């Protein structure tokens, strides 16, 4: 499941092959932007902001978001693609490399000067150079009645955290996702733990919150019906969202979390 760590690693890999290179092909397969051709432009850099990825070429920025199924792949010229071509939303080529964005949830081209219109609302990024724990905590505590599970998932509070980190952080802190933020003791430790967990995974292709790279890599995420590794109680699954159309699965131990 793509989260901020996945996007930051993707941005780093794309930056290595695209930055400073001239685009020899730009094939955008989204109707609203299909006529835009950035061939001949030099890629300045590729950066991540939370779960958003920004490829800057000339005066334009290619803005993408992986959502649930998206991915960027990097291939040497002539290599066979690992996903079907009909899933490709954009193809960018240089003299040596082919980069393909598959099944991207968002893909658009905007003036680089207007990047704030798509990422300006985001909260501090735990993987960004401007990480500010105090600001993230301030935003989290702005609505004391809000369930902590919703606050952790809100990109306006912290950019990059997804469902996996939300559920794992709550378990490790012994807090049910439904507990109001105002009833959480030492909420600053939630922010600190989220920061440390995602930092620990930023260079890994396999995400882990248990410290194991094989076997059980999560404490509660997607483990409903299985025994809690701490107390043996069956892990349960629930749903939580700001409205019925935004419900996301929660996983928790009813004994270890209160």
**Spatial distance between the Cα atoms of 65 and 68, rounded to a whole number of angstroms:** 9
The answer to whether residue 2 is catalytic is yes
Say which of 2, 126, 147, 177 is annotated catalytic.
2
Per DSSP, which regions of 104-158 are E strands? 106-111
Q: How far is CA 4 from CA 10, 47, 177, in A?
A: 10, 12, 20
pTM of the model: 0.93
Q: What is the rounded distance in angstroms from the CA atom of residue 196 to the CA atom of residue 255?
A: 25
DSSP letter assigned to residue 88: E
- Domains delineated in the chain: 4-119 (3.20.190.10), 133-252 (1.10.8.50)
Rounded CA-CA distance 256/59 in Å is: 52
Instruction: Read off the pLDDT of residues 204-254 as tens digits, 9 standing for 90 and up.
Output: 888 999 999 889 999 999 999 999 999 999 999 999 988 887 899 999 999
Beta carbons of 72 and 85 less than 8 angstroms apart: no
For 44-80, the DSSP string reads EEEEEETTEEEEEETTEEEEEE-TTT-EEEEEETTPP
pLDDT in tens, 5-20: 999 999 999 999 999 9
Distances 191 to 2, 4, 124, 164, 185 between C-alpha atoms, Å: 20, 15, 11, 15, 12
In 79-164 the beta strands, taken as DSSP E runs, fall at 88-93, 97-102, 106-111
Q: Which of 3, 93, 124, 126 is catalytic?
A: 3
- Output the CA torsion 173→177→181→186 (10° steps): 0
Strands 60-65 and 106-111: antiparallel
d(CA 99, CA 113): 24
- Separation between Cα atoms, residue 151 and residue 165, nearest integer Å: 12
| 3-state secondary structure at position 7 | helix
Per-residue pLDDT of the chain (258 residues; tens, 9 = 90+): 689 999 999 999 999 999 999 999 999 999 999 999 999 999 999 999 999 999 999 999 999 999 999 999 999 999 999 999 999 999 999 999 999 999 999 999 999 999 999 999 999 999 999 899 999 999 999 999 999 999 999 999 999 999 999 999 999 999 999 999 999 999 999 999 999 999 999 998 889 999 998 899 999 999 999 999 999 999 999 999 888 878 999 999 999 999
Catalytic-labelled residue, pool 31, 41, 51, 135: 51
The pLDDT of residue 207: 94
CA geometry: angle 212, 220, 254, nearest 5 deg: 140
Other beta carbons within 10 Å of 212: 11
Respond yes or no: is residue 3 known to be catalytic: yes
């Amino acid at each position: 499941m793509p989260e901020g760590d996945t996007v930051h690693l993707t941005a780093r890999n794309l930056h290595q092959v695209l930055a400073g290179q001239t685009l020899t092909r730009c094939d955008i397969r989204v109707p609203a932007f299909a006529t835009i051709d950035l061939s001949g432009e030099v890629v300045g850099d590729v950066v991540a902001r939370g779960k958003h990825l920004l490829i800057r070429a000339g005066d334009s920025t290619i803005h993408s978001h992986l959502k649930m199924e998206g991915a960027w792949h990097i291939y040497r010229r002539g290599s066979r693609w690992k996903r079907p071509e009909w899933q490709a939303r954009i193809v960018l080529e240089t003299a040596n490399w082919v980069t393909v964005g598959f099944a991207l949830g968002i893909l658009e081209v905007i003036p680089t000067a207007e990047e704030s219109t798509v990422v300006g609302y985001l909260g501090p990024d735990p993987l960004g150079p401007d990480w500010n724990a105090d600001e993230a905590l301030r935003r989290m505590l702005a609505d004391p009645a809000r369930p902590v599970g919703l606050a952790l998932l809100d990109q306006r509070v912290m950019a990059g955290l997804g469902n996996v980190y939300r559920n794992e952080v709550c378990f490790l802190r012994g807090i049910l996702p439904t507990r109001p933020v105002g009833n959480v003791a030492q909420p600053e430790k939630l922010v600190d733990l989220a920061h440390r967990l995602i930092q620990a995974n930023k260079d890994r292709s396999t995400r882990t919150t248990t410290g194991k790279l094989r076997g059980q890599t999560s404490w509660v995420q997607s483990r409903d019906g299985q025994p809690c590794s701490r107390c043996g109680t069956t892990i349960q699954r629930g749903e939580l969202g700001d409205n019925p159309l935004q419900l996301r699965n929660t996983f928790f131990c009813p004994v270890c979390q209160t």
